[in-house]
A and B are shown apart, each in its own frame.
Chain A
Amino acid sequence: MSDMLNIGKPVQKMDSLSLATGTERFTDDFHVENPLYCAILYSPHAHAEIKKIDTSTALKVPGVVDIIHYNNVPRVLHTTAGQGYPEPSPYDTLLFDRRVRFVGDRVALVAAETVQSAHQALEKIIVDYKPLEPVFDPERAMDKDTPKLHVDDEHAMIPATYEPEKNLAAEVKISFGDMKKGFEQADFIEDHTYKVHYASHCAIEPHAVICYFDERGRLVIISTTQVPFHVRRIVGQVLGIPVGMIRVIKPRIGGGFGGKQEVFLEPLIALVAWRHRRAVRICLTRKEVFVSSRTRHAMRIRLRTGVKNDGRITALDMDGLMNAGAYGTHALTVISNVGSKTLPFFNKIENLNFCGRSVYTNLPVGGAYRGYGATQGYFAFNQQIDTIARRTDKDVLEYIKRWHIKEGETSEVFKALGEGKEGVAQAIRSCKLDECIDRGSEAIEWYKKRAKRIKVGKNMVKGVGAAVSMQGSGIPKIDMAACSMKMNEDGSFNLYVGATDIGTGSDTILAQIAGEVLRVPTQKIIVLSSDTDLTPFDTGAYASSTTYVSGKAVEKCAHDIAEQLKKVASGMLGTEQKNLFLDSEKAIDKNTKKSVTFTDIALSSMYEKDQFQIQAHASQTVDESPPPFIAQFAEIDVDLETGKLKVVKFVSAVDCGQPINPKLAEGQVEGAAVNGISYTLCEDYNFDSIGRMTNPTFWDYKIFNIRDIPEMETILVGSHEETGPFGAKSVGEIAINGPAPAIAKALYDAAGIRVYELPITSQKVWKLLQEEKPV
């Protein structure tokens, strides 16, 4: 890539200096004149019906302007999932409902002149609840005698299994080959059940929304969103406002990780604004984010594998049960992804069965979370593989190399399982997983440490574990990205993208792509993103789509601009367009070496001859979703007496295609890996007997700080994905998949105990050391 000007270069993130000097604005930093402040009343019951809600005293609190609840808002079923239309998530949500379905479900919202008034009024709302029997155990959710959560006219928008009368929010089944025969052929069967727990995204910026009216009476929404265009559509839908009356602006976003794909706050705040034709604002507390926004779906996955003594898997049966929580947002697609992201990995298994179910419970609501089902699936898959490799006396790394999907190969699962419907057939065009495994294992010194149980202290033993995974790059045939571009007099270009930078640096990498096509430095590309009035459409920041899908739109658009530049230049130079190439901000005749600068081209086209604006637009949809691949390695020290487990070193070697910006790609991997390690070791939702989260603060829900991190090493293993912009694939999600299985496997390596249920706390390790007979 030596001839590249921008691609593969650690170009500085274009908003990083303004962020580091405090001049950038996040949602809650915007000033609006005379706003109403909101506070939300939440249900103290896991399951109840509201018999009566009395707001008369609360409304008398000075400064209170309005209190909205199920009795005075329109009843419009929708989903908060923030997906494309029609959504694959069921329409099971109202702004406010007569029934509340988890501790933290919203009951009413107060709008007042001050925050204090709003909170005072909250305490004066009298709600008469009729408690209903709650459902906490997903395993029992579908039992006949279990209470049902959604019993009215909730429905699915796409032809998918949705049976609320059974608490079944989604069901996905695929099967290939002959399972009976497959298990009969096996020499032995490994049958294990794995459990993956709740987690909060913990973006440091809480969810916030501001609504106001512009000079012409249109509704403007500034929001901490990953999906501004979906926000516009969904607010329009729920409030019955024409989309053309709404403008959504995404300012800087303080991290998303999936948690800000959910459109659960904007419709409420917009409704208050619409009712009073006034500016309205809200910023959630940390507790509200923990309890009442969205979480990682907890899951139980049973894996049964029939295995020959030589290690060949003759049958694989995956049965997943996902706790959707009280509402079915992403209920279908996350469980689908458990299968679709993990099962193609070992693509030579002929007899394959997958059954995934999402069930309603009276617990906090799951949603999109970095990794999106793959994280859950690969925890089970990697441990199962480790068990098989050990039993057949194989090095697990060699075993993975033998069986994983490779370049030129495909899997029937790609076609069978998509995002809530059939998927898209695809062959793998780029896969450098073997190199990832080799370089990663070298970095962790695998063969020096594996199965050696090196003593590093009185009772401390070392272990190493590895995990592999793949993700996707956007959603084929669903995601769409668009952009437009225009040229300025000095040879700079405005780039307008719908793509949503939530802190990842996508504005920068999209500018790098445009700059590369036009052979100008990235700094010459001025990016404006995610404003529904000003930029073209984009589905938003999810599904690891931005580089691959939005990046390709930008590449196409820039090529169009390049042709226009050459056309003008050919007139100016008196040569044919095909003789020209672009470099050093000039159009150059390859024969005569005569050239004309971009500035002169711009001036000529704008002011002098055959005047027109050099401008272009492009849209991109994709037919494939090329997976990035990763191999991750954990080295741990575990105290056999106390159970204390410390991750000493963590290595990630990733094939994300051509990294557009290596520094930003590393940042994605490091951030996701640390989030994954933190999730594995110390993050958890604790619930009491009535289904209430008991630790909704950073004091009690511990996330890693800088002192907790192990030595981190990130290796970008370059590959070239021919369908991606300059060979790029995605990198945003994948690195969160490996920590949990790698650490669990390292624990087995060190101490001979297998953890099937996350998180891996020291208490749990200690308990297992006492209870189990370590191998």
Chain B
Amino acid sequence: MEGLFIINGSEKKLSFDSGDILLNVLRANGFTEVKSGCHEGQCGSCVILLNEELVNSCQVFAAAAVGKDIVTIKGIGDIHSPHPMQEAFVETGAVQCGFCIPGVVLAAYYLLKNNPDPDDEEICRALDGNLCRCTGYVKIHEAVKLAAKRMAENV
């Protein structure tokens, strides 16, 4: 089957089978910035925003996302014009291997969108669906705090 998706602001017509998982369809069509770490809804590497809600794309049928608005990590900023959240991750040294980072950054972006001034506990709760084995989460936590501070200053 075929379906129209709005991915990072652009309309894309993608073809897929009825049982196909959104993560696989995205990756097969070049959106490889959405990572696949477990395919079981646990690691959070495949996180995207679907109609402004944070979801693990490995847990969504492509068919269920037709016509919806999808934002991947490339949709919030790019290498030439990064989002403050992306910059904060760089500055604090929160990026090691970086495989989990697109998911983590999107989860943090989603948090600040809904709660611009989160406390420590709220940051932890917002990111507890994203596994990272490299950083020990210390600098990830710092990055989110730094981004929140920066974004509040620039409002």
Contact = CB atoms under 8 A, between A and B. Distances in A.
A674 B35 contact: no
Contacts of B141: 706
Interface residues of A, number: 57
Given A17-B79, A18-B79, A673 B101 contact: no
Interface in A152-206: 201-206
B36 interface: yes
A20 B77 CA distance: 9
A467 B72 CA distance: 43
Report the contact-size class of chain B (Cβ under 8 Å from the partner).
35 or more
A252 B33 CA distance: 13
Contact of A201 (B32, B43, B133, B140): B133
Contacts of B93: 10, 12-13, 16, 663-664, 666-667
Contacts, number: 182
Interface string B15-37: 00000000000010010110111
A17 B35 contact: no
Interface string A236-266: 0000000000000000111101000000000
A285 B123 CA distance: 29
Contacts of A16: 89-90, 93, 95, 98
Interface string B51-83: 000000000000000000000111001110010
A698 B97 contact: no
A504 B135 CA distance: 10
Interface in A16-75: 16-26, 28-29, 31
Contacts of A23: 33, 74, 78-79
A623 to B, nearest CB: 31
Contacts of A17: 79, 82, 86-87, 90
A204 B47 CA distance: 14
A3 to B, nearest CB: 24
B105 interface: yes
A502 interface: yes
B153 interface: no
Most buried by A among B43, B73, B98, B135: B98
Contact of A26 (B35, B95, B130): B35
Contacts of A424: none
A506 to B, nearest CB: 11
A20 B124 contact: no
A712 B135 CA distance: 12
A31 B32 CA distance: 10
Given A706-B141, A707-B128, A205 B37 contact: yes
A683 B32 CA distance: 30
Contacts of B86: 17, 20-21
Contacts of A642: none
B101 A20 contact: yes
B137 A709 contact: yes
B96 A204 contact: no
B82 A255 contact: no
Nearest to B129: A705
A15 interface: yes
Given A286-B39, A703-B133, A706-B128, A252 B79 contact: no
A253 B90 contact: no
B74 A22 contact: yes
Interface in A114-153: none
A516 interface: no
Given A255-B99, A671-B135, A204 B89 contact: no
B6 interface: no
Nearest to A254: B99
Contacts of A28: 27, 32, 36
A205 B99 contact: yes
A698 B138 CA distance: 21
B119 interface: no
A28 B95 CA distance: 19
A19 B97 CA distance: 8
A40 to B, nearest CB: 16
B125 A204 contact: no
A675 interface: yes
Nearest to A25: B32
A451 to B, nearest CB: 29
A257 B79 contact: no
- Which label, helix, strand, loop or mixed, suits the secondary structure of the A interface? loop
Interface in A659-713: 663-664, 666-667, 670-675, 697-699, 703-707, 709, 712
B97 A674 contact: no
Contact of B102 (A22, A25, A201): A22
Interface centre among B36, B82, B129 (most CB of A within 10 A): B36
Interface in B78-125: 78-79, 82, 86-87, 89-93, 95-102, 105, 123-125
B4 interface: no
A503 B136 contact: no
Contact of B95 (A13, A31, A257, A714): A13
B134 interface: yes
Nearest to A208: B36
B50 interface: no
Contacts of A673: 136
A673 B96 CA distance: 15
B130 A706 contact: yes
Contact of A706 (B45, B72, B74, B124): B124
Contacts of B97: 19, 203-205, 252-255, 502-503
Given A10-B93, A13-B95, A699 B135 contact: no
B148 interface: no
Contacts of B30: 31
Contacts of A25: 32
A520 to B, nearest CB: 21
Interface in A559-588: none
B82 A712 contact: no
Contact of A667 (B33, B90, B96, B100): B96
A283 B99 CA distance: 15
A505 interface: yes
Contact of B96 (A285, A505, A712): A505
Given A203-B133, A699-B42, A22 B36 contact: no
Contacts of A666: 93, 138-139
A21 B73 contact: yes
Nearest to B40: A697
Contacts of A698: 38, 40, 42-43, 131
B29 to A, nearest CB: 10
Contact of A671 (B45, B96, B98): B96
Contacts of A12: 90-91, 93
A21 B99 contact: no
B49 interface: no
B131 A670 contact: no
Contacts of B96: 13, 255, 503-505, 667, 671
B133 A204 contact: yes
Contacts of A667: 93, 96, 134-136, 139
9 contacts: A16-B95, A17-B87, A29-B32, A204-B133, A253-B97, A254-B99, A670-B139, A671-B96, A675-B136
Given A18-B79, A20-B90, 6 more contacts: A16-B98, A22-B72, A23-B74, A254-B97, A254-B98, A503-B134
Closest A-B pairs by Cβ, 5 of them:
A503-B97, A19-B98, A254-B99, A22-B33, A674-B136
Interface of B: 27, 30, 32-33, 35-40, 42-43, 45, 72-74, 77-79, 82, 86-87, 89-93, 95-102, 105, 123-125, 127-141
